[in-house]
Amino acid sequence: MTIKKPENIILILLVCCAILVLATLTRYFCLLSKLDLFTSNIVFLIVVAFSLAVYISINSLIDNFLLPKIISSKPFERKESASNETKIGLEFVSNSVSTNEIRETFKETSKQKKQKLLKQALQYSQEVFAPYTSDSELLRLCTFVEMYSNEEELKSIQPIKVDKQLKASDIYHYGWNIWNHFRITDQLSISHFLKIVFAPTLQEVSEIKTIKKKLRIPDSNCIIPIRYKLGN
């Protein structure tokens, strides 16, 4: 027992008062029994000493043996703690499953969106260039557009040859429409794409930056206009 705590001090004072009262009553009965004053005082001291010894023994027993066992053996708290840990574990597993489902859903949605954009771009390319190039050239163009949508690098490819009715400005507009449709690269990248894929039409344009500057310049004589939306 910690003596410095106020509640412990009060308890000790109460015990001392009780011992004094008990010893005083015992002394009083000794005097009534016609014992001499000296003997009565000795009995008084014995009762005080004995009572204090009993109190100290009981207090020591409680502090050293009974109290630790009571504190350490709280089955409800241990069970409650174990139950809480189990609940947390189950919630984490549940959240993990939910998170994985969200990731899979996001991947599938992104994949579907990408496929839809590619389908629209290929359909647009076919509609625009079918009158001005052969089927084999058009098929190759669609392959290049798909590579662009996957951000693949075009290496050692055979450029597309289109009818001379299509001018450089038509190719620029087509490039801007494709870039605006996908929005996966910067305009310098789509300019590089145009320079490689439509090399015969853009053979007189040496700088990629020049193509970039002219992607969106209006031209009333163009066959391919600027389009802000390719699909529905």
pLDDT score for 32: 79
pLDDT score for 1: 57
Based on the fold, state whether residues 130 and 210 are members of the same structural domain: yes
Mean pLDDT for the chain? 84
Based on the fold, state whether residues 134 and 207 are members of the same structural domain: yes
Inform me whether the pLDDT recorded for 70 exceeds 60: no
Number of domains forming the structure of the chain:
2
**Tens of pLDDT along 12-51?**
778 788 888 887 888 777 877 777 878 878 878 888 888 8
Question: 37 lies in a domain?
Answer: yes
Question: 186 lies in a domain?
Answer: yes
153 or 79, which is more confident?
153
Inform me whether the pLDDT recorded for 72 exceeds 70: no
Based on the fold, state whether residues 148 and 68 are members of the same structural domain: no
d(CA 121, CA 178): 7
Give the contacts of 24 (CB within 8 A, at least 6 positions apart).
Answer: 44
pLDDT score for 37: 78
Buried b (16+ CB within 10 A) or exposed e, 93-109: eeeeeeeeeeeeeeeee
Phi, psi at 90, each rounded to 5°: -65, -40
Based on the fold, state whether residues 63 and 135 are members of the same structural domain: no
Average pLDDT over residues 99-123: 90
**Tens of pLDDT along 210-219?**
999 999 998 8
148 or 26, which is more confident?
148
pLDDT score for 36: 80
Give the contacts of 48 (CB within 8 A, at least 6 positions apart).
Answer: 19, 20, 23
Based on the fold, state whether residues 127 and 66 are members of the same structural domain: no
Q: Which range marks the domain in which residue 19 is found?
A: 6-72
Based on the fold, state whether residues 51 and 143 are members of the same structural domain: no
Lowest mean pLDDT among 18-22, 80-84, 135-139, 161-165: 80-84
Based on the fold, state whether residues 134 and 188 are members of the same structural domain: yes
**Tens of pLDDT along 164-195?**
999 999 999 999 999 999 999 999 999 999 99
DSSP string, 15-34: HHHHHHHHHHHHHHHHHHTT
Question: 165 lies in a domain?
Answer: yes
pTM of this structure: 0.59
